[in-house]
Structure 1
């Protein structure tokens, strides 16, 4: 039996389980979810069954909140059924024809163009945008209005990117003016999501930090039928992007750089760093370079509050966040997290001194 739900979700990640699925479960509106696995990986069938268990699945929230230790379990009951695009495409289409929202959190490779993307008939080796285009074409033919797209991939302007990909594929594959017009009216949310989800709970569920964010950029036709403390509607995502990228992510990259220079143990984690002597160096960096630079942009108070939250997140006693993992693609991260920050600040004040960050940037180029 196929149930009709409010949300069709592409992705089975533990991040979604501890983020959107939990928010939907906590909503004061009926936000039921159909989860779709698009990889075709048969080894994950046990996870699909567990996600749709009527008793729900656990999310363990563990960490620091305003300096206080938090350890509680939430129960997620929003997921009602699960399908695979490889085995259940017809059912996916039937549900997709009636949902209000299509949520996604696919891997970076899920957006990579595939040779089969231009095929007239659906195949499971298509990219996610191509699969979505075929699903939307099926819905268009039923006469239903377009749904709202809620991509949560870590891609700048993710809603605009996904909608543009769908429009391009629709033109190439279907070449239907009416379908293109229908797609043009489809709301697609640009968003930023943030929550450290440190480990899975088998067969379904996850361990997550208390902090969570789902920032959505306001636009005509975009809305959710509920509110949630972690959901923020903003006029522009730039402020949230800058705070996350140039405080939390920049801090991670600073720690990783020290880890490489000092040749610390390979299994060292962020908590080890926060409990060590060099934590004071990070706090000095925030206080003397990062916060004053944000002040030049009129964001000092918000930067101070975000630094305080970030320190709580880094000092989470339950989180095993390996610095070796953070240090992957270190050069690219220096450029995006530190280089972009220096350029952003120097566009306002070319004389602003950022000695520690400039030294890391110079070494990384």
Structure 2
């Protein structure tokens, strides 16, 4: 068996450009998944290389399992990023993650790290559902895990972890903290601050309110396609590296990070690694959420129903590619203010080109996950904006209808199961199961889920008619 990757055996041509042993921890990252390792950790290492500032090693926190820690520990914290485009693949090792904590095993260690005076920034990629927000956008104070954290246990939720860590910074003498959300949420920095303030009001933790007042919550927009790593990817990486990497992540060549320039203290020079620092993230964020992410979801549901296992396969279907392009040009672009220097038409074309990358095996089932929290962010804003000006959001409604059929049918055209991986799976299944026969019955049942569709949108006759038409076409192709 090929020897396992570590500092001693990593070929020099693939080694990190900075000795990871020289880094001290200045960042805590909550949500140590593949995306963070292929994105923020890469930017951070490149910033260290550009400036020589070694304060910015990362302590990564896994919110669920010890799998990433167990992968990284025997590898001296190293892992590699296999970049796969239309040209030959490339690979490089990353050493910016210097410590891994597993929150369920040692929640107090997570709090202690956030409170460490050497830590100036906390970043997050915990997916939309990790914030435990209610349908109206505030904190879901009825969530059992939030309630448990509010009783004073060692915190298990990200909001509870941040609150406990911030409060303890008063005791440790640490300076004000910057909390940088990197998830696909509208105005993600402002949203996270709101959640934290609502938690603080319910918790009455000494020192927390003062720390929140001093903290900064800049918004950010992130973009890179990072599919799940396969055994074939690991074999390919081993051939390139000459050693085995159990923590490998795979990514496309494209990478982007737009960050609101609003920090409470020191930070890495991410702009020297290619990040964009700006005073207004919103135009970038809206373009990405409504064009790239919404189209991704549409292709996942329509492609999944047609039996396509990957997004690339779905884009090669000329009809689905045409619908995806129409979604962007007809429904989405009229709702957007283009960011400076971004041609939305060209951006839309680049989105489809990236999705068609045959080297990335981004599964439709993976993109289809968590529909109940993705739809409001990715598609329903477009629907509302188009309805408000008297337009018919036919393509956006078709994408929502495809989600409804995906859930209700549970199988693709070939009879294979379509998995429903969703934080509201039981409620979504119950609604679909209670639907009267026919397209109208399914639409009405799904629109009744008030944690996804607000009352005004659910009652809109134009939206309902568009949904019924789209669902009927999908049920009777």
- Would you say 1:37 and 2:62 are equivalent positions? yes
Alpha carbons 1:294, 1:303 under 8 Å: kept: no
SS at match of 2:167: helix
State the Cα distance separating 1:101 from its structure 2 match. 0.9
Q: Distance in 2 between matches of 1:318 and 1:222?
A: 40
SS at match of 2:318: coil
Alpha carbons 1:195, 1:212 under 8 Å: kept: yes
State the Cα distance separating 1:129 from its structure 2 match. 1.1
SS at match of 1:63: coil
Shift of the 160–50 alpha-carbon distance from structure 1 to 2, 3 Å rule, reads farther
Shift of the 246–38 alpha-carbon distance from structure 1 to 2, 3 Å rule, reads closer
Q: 1:307 aligns with which of 341, 345, 348?
A: 348
Matching residue of 1:184:
213
Shift of the 152–353 alpha-carbon distance from structure 1 to 2, 3 Å rule, reads closer
Unaligned runs of 5+ in 1: none
Q: Distance in 1 between matches of 2:110 and 2:370?
A: 40
State the Cα distance separating 1:175 from its structure 2 match. 4.5
- Would you say 1:321 and 2:362 are equivalent positions? yes
Q: Distance in 1 between matches of 2:365 and 2:268?
A: 41
State the Cα distance separating 1:45 from its structure 2 match. 4.0
Q: 2:326 aligns with which of 285, 303, 309?
A: 285
Matches within 5 A, 1:249-260: 249-256=293-300, 258-259=302-303
Matching residue of 1:106:
126
Alpha carbons 1:6, 1:99 under 8 Å: kept: yes
Q: 1:210 aligns with which of 230, 235, 253?
A: 253
Q: 1:264 aligns with which of 286, 303, 306?
A: 306
Shift of the 343–91 alpha-carbon distance from structure 1 to 2, 3 Å rule, reads closer
Q: Distance in 1 between matches of 2:167 and 2:324?
A: 52
Matching residue of 1:63:
85
Shift of the 223–281 alpha-carbon distance from structure 1 to 2, 3 Å rule, reads farther
Could you report, residue by residue, the CA deviation over 1:180-223 in whole angstroms, capped at 9, with x for unpaired residues? Answer: 22320111122222221112355213001112222222436477
SS at match of 1:214: strand
- Would you say 1:74 and 2:92 are equivalent positions? yes
Q: Distance in 1 between matches of 2:101 and 2:328?
A: 49
Shift of the 216–298 alpha-carbon distance from structure 1 to 2, 3 Å rule, reads closer
Bigger relative contact order, structure 1 or 2, given CA contacts below 8 A and separation 6+?
1
Shift of the 51–189 alpha-carbon distance from structure 1 to 2, 3 Å rule, reads farther
Count how many residue pairs are aligned between Structure 1 and Structure 2.
348
Q: Distance in 2 between matches of 1:314 and 1:74?
A: 23
- Would you say 1:93 and 2:112 are equivalent positions? yes
Shift of the 279–87 alpha-carbon distance from structure 1 to 2, 3 Å rule, reads closer
Alpha carbons 1:70, 1:210 under 8 Å: kept: no
SS at match of 1:7: strand
Alpha carbons 2:120, 2:175 under 8 Å: kept: no
Shift of the 312–230 alpha-carbon distance from structure 1 to 2, 3 Å rule, reads farther
Unaligned runs of 5+ in 2: 1-22, 133-142, 235-244, 400-462, 472-477
Matches within 5 A, 1:1-365: 4-27=24-47, 28-29=50-51, 30=53, 31-39=56-64, 41-50=65-74, 52-53=76-77, 56-64=78-86, 69=87, 71-85=89-103, 86-87=105-106, 89-90=108-109, 93=112, 96-112=116-132, 113=143, 114=145, 115-120=147-152, 122-124=153-155, 126-176=156-206, 179-200=208-229, 203-219=246-262, 221=264, 224-226=267-269, 227-228=271-272, 230-256=274-300, 258-259=302-303, 264-265=306-307, 267-278=308-319, 281-282=322-323, 285=326, 289=330, 293=334, 297=337, 302-327=343-368, 337-345=378-386, 347=388, 350=390, 356-357=395-396, 362-363=466-467
Shift of the 72–182 alpha-carbon distance from structure 1 to 2, 3 Å rule, reads same
Alpha carbons 1:62, 1:71 under 8 Å: kept: yes
Shift of the 346–163 alpha-carbon distance from structure 1 to 2, 3 Å rule, reads closer
Shift of the 287–342 alpha-carbon distance from structure 1 to 2, 3 Å rule, reads closer
Alpha carbons 1:5, 1:33 under 8 Å: kept: yes
State the Cα distance separating 1:71 from its structure 2 match. 1.9
Moved more, 18-27 or 281-290: 281-290
Moved more, 14-23 or 161-170: 161-170
State the Cα distance separating 1:344 from its structure 2 match. 2.5
Moved more, 307-316 or 286-295: 286-295
Shift of the 133–278 alpha-carbon distance from structure 1 to 2, 3 Å rule, reads same
State the Cα distance separating 1:332 from its structure 2 match. 7.6
Shift of the 223–154 alpha-carbon distance from structure 1 to 2, 3 Å rule, reads farther
Q: Which has the higher strand share?
A: 1
Could you report, residue by residue, the CA deviation over 1:203-261 in whole angstroms, capped at 9, with x for unpaired residues? Answer: 2130011122222224364774311455222333332232223322333344346447x
